[in-house]
Every structure is written in C-alpha cells, then in structure tokens.
Amino acid sequence: MALKRVILELGTGNDLHGGDYTKAALRAVQDAIHHSSLSMLRSLGVDPKTGMFVEVTIGVQQPDKVDAEAVRGSLPHGTVAVRCVKGGLDVIDRERGDNAVIATAAIAVRLDLP
C-alpha cells in the first residue's frame, strides 16, 4: 500500500501586533483544521491517532522564527510533520515600530491506501 493524500486544507492566521510568527502560524493551522471533519476516517475504519499522516507547511516571511514543535503539538491527531517555508506577509508600521505577521498553512492528510 502507499500513502495517498485524501485531505488538503488551507488556512490563514495573523499576529497583528508583536510580530510573533509562531502565534500567526498556530492561528493559521487552527483556521485550516476547523474547515474539516474527519468523518471519512471513521467510515474507513482508520484510527486517526495511528493511521493518519499529517504534513503541515507554514508560510511566513521568517520561517526560522516559527516554533515547529508548538505547531506540531497543536494538532490533535496523526503522525505530524511540520515544514516552515518563506511565504506569508509582514506588514510593517514604521511609525510605531510594529510588525503585523500573516501566516498561511497548508495541511495535507495522507492515509495508507491500496
């Protein structure tokens, strides 16, 4: 059998004041997973704790500032891998020295199917 992608969800999140890339990433992940229901897994008899493989890609302007372990820990099911890449958007308010961070998340779920 092979791992096949069965779900792809997208989300956005932000930290409007403070420039916290992890906070924005966590909000993007929550946005994405709240668009899904895992009823298909129950129908197929898949245990989401052990039979589901989750690939999370986070896009932010400074990927090295995202705590990937915090993102991994925010997902309730599956074997989770997190990758942070350059993307998203920083909106800098130079007058106030404030940085609004916008993150994007893509969450792919793979199952071991024939």
- Look up the CATH superfamily of 2-113: Tubulin/FtsZ, C-terminal domain (3.30.1330.20)
Query: What pLDDT score does 46 carry?
Result: 80
Provide the Cα torsion 22, 26, 31, 37; round to 10°: 150
The domain segmentation of the chain, as residue ranges, is: 2-113
**DSSP assignment of 5-46:** EEEEEEEEEEESSS--HHHHHHHHHHHHHTT---HHHHHHT-
- Beta-carbon contacts of 22 under 8 Å, excluding residues fewer than 6 positions away, are 65, 66, 67, 70, 71
Per-residue pLDDT of the chain (114 residues; tens, 9 = 90+): 688 898 999 999 999 988 999 999 999 999 999 877 777 778 888 877 778 899 999 999 999 999 999 999 999 889 999 999 999 999 998 888 889 999 999 999 998 876
The span from the CA of 7 to the CA of 106, in Å, is: 10
Q: Residue 89 has what DSSP assignment? A: E
